[in-house]
Each structure stands twice: as C-alpha cells, then as structure tokens.
Amino acid sequence: MSYPTSWRPPSFFNNSFIRFGLLALVLGYFLFSYITLDADWERTSKGIPRALDIFKRMFPPDFSRWDLLLRGVLESVQMALAASFIGMLIAIPVGLCAANNLVPRPVYFLGRIFLGISRTFHEIIVAIFFVKIFGFGPLAGVLTLVVASFSFIGKMLAEDIENMRPGKLEAIKATGASFPKLLLYAVQPHILPRYIGVSIYRLDANIRHSTVVGIVGAGGIGQTLAASFSRYDYGFSLAILITIVSLVFAGEFLSNWVRGRLR
C-alpha cells in the first residue's frame, strides 16, 4: 500500500452535497441581489474621483469654530452620562423582572417582551418618537439613550441572574428571608461586578450613540455634523469627526482601565 504524499486540511462541511449546495446558493444570491439592487453604477464609478476631491477639501481640518464644537461635544458627553446613570437605575427592576428564577411566569414573560420591544428598533427611530413627544433638544436624546441603556443592561442582568447557581438562592431562602432580603444577600453580591462592568461599557457606547441621535434633532454633536455635511463644509466635518474619534478612544481607554481595576 502506498502512502499519500500530499495532505489537504479537512473542509468545514463534510457532506459534499451541502458544500456545493451552499456554494450554489451563495452564487445565486449574488446574482439575485445584483439584478434587484437598484444601484446607479454610473454614479458609483464616479465615486473614486469624487472621494479624492472630498478628501482634498477635508484637509486641513477646520478648527476655527472650536467653541461650537466644544459645546456640542460637552452636550453629547453630558447626555451620555445622564442617560447611563438613569438607565443603570431603571435596568435593575427591568432585569429582575426578566429572570425566570426569581419572579413568577407571567411577570417573566412581560419582562422579556418589554426588553425585546425596546431592543428591536434602532435608536434613531426611537429618537424620532421622543422628538415628537418631547420636542427637539437634548431631552429626547437623553430619553433615547436611556431606552438603549436599560434594554442592554437589563438583558445582561437577566442572563446573569439566570446563570446563577440555584444553591445560593435556596440557601438564603432557607434562612427565612423575605424577597428584598433575598435580593440584597443572594443576588446583589453575584451580579454587582458584572453590572458595573456592563454599565461602564454602556457609558462608552452611549458616547458613540449620542453623536448619531443628533442627526434627527435630539441634541449633541450629531446635529452640528449633519449640518456641516449639508453645507459642504468638509473641513469642519473632518474636525468634528476627529474630535468624535478621539473622544471615543479616550472613553474606551478609561473604561478599560476602570474595568481592569475592578477585577
């Protein structure tokens, strides 16, 4: 018997029918999307020279209106801080209601449905509704970010509580503790590190999202950015973008440092 001299790594799908079927599906999808996508290829091909022209107009970044920039950035950061704090507080009851080892079945279903609905819609759509109800300005932005925050933190909290070993809850219940005492002595020590870590991550994410709710008029630096793009003021746009990137970078650095200290 002869031994093979070359070796091929095993492929991901063992059944060759599935492999070729998937390949055919993928190629068919590309063809389908190319046909149904209503793209203006002529305008797209003009994109590269357009891009070069825009980048030329973006450099050097125009920081002359730095007071407007600073005010917008400060408003964004304040929106993120306020929204994270309020979202953290609201997430506690919402997360507790969505954990099936703590609350009765109907409350659990209501909690999960509430979390699901608040997570479905993109924050711009939620921002538009809050702008309709509360008017323009940072109030609508803060409320949008509060919804985004508590849905994220609440989901993490619910999953963490459900992953808890049942022995801990049973031990505290066996001492005759009422429900608030059960929360204080069994649930709270278990979830606290993860809760604070997720909240700090959410603060950082809120700074990123606060830049975008401004596009629909909910306050923050997004409004300034959208206005500068429509005015073709690309130098100022680049200045705003650089500020946003450095702000997010600093926020992420801080958040990683604080979370490292917590361990």
Pick the closer one to another protein by CB: 51 or 171: 51
Binding mask 185-224 for another protein (x = CB under 8 A): -----------------------xx-xx--xx--x--x--
| Binding of another protein by 120 (CB under 8 A) | yes
Distance CA 155, CA 52 (A): 44
Question: Closest Cα partner for 170 from 184, 158, 182, 188?
Answer: 182
With contacts defined by CB under 8 A, name the span among 17-25, 97-105, 137-145, 175-183 that binds another protein. Answer: 137-145
- What tokens does 104 get? 């009765």
- What tokens does 230 get? 């429509």
Q: Is the peptide bond before 193 cis (omega within 30 degrees of 0)?
A: no
| Binding of another protein by 154 (CB under 8 A) | no
Pick the closer one to another protein by CB: 127 or 161: 127
Question: Closest Cα partner for 149 from 212, 82, 88, 197?
Answer: 88
Site for another protein in 36-95 (CB under 8 A): 36-40, 43-44, 46-47, 50-51, 54, 74-75, 77-79, 81-82, 85-86
Please name the amino acid found at residue 82.
Answer: A
Pick the closer one to another protein by CB: 64 or 246: 246
Q: What share of the chain is helix, strand, coil (3-state, %, to 5)?
A: 80, 0, 20
Pick the closer one to another protein by CB: 101 or 246: 246
Pick the closer one to another protein by CB: 102 or 216: 216
C-alpha 198, offset from chain centre? 12
- What tokens does 69 get? 């920039």
Q: Residues with Cβ < 8 Å from 85, sequence gap 6 or more?
A: none
- What tokens does 125 get? 């759509």
| Binding of another protein by 109 (CB under 8 A) | no
- What tokens does 79 get? 């929106």
Binding mask 10-39 for another protein (x = CB under 8 A): --x----------------x---x--xxxx
Element at 218 (helix H, strand E): none
Q: Which residues bind another protein (CB under 8 A)?
A: 9, 12, 29, 33, 36-40, 43-44, 46-47, 50-51, 54, 74-75, 77-79, 81-82, 85-86, 120-122, 124-125, 128-129, 132-135, 137-139, 142, 208-209, 211-212, 215-216, 219, 222, 225-226, 229, 234, 241, 244-245, 247-249, 252
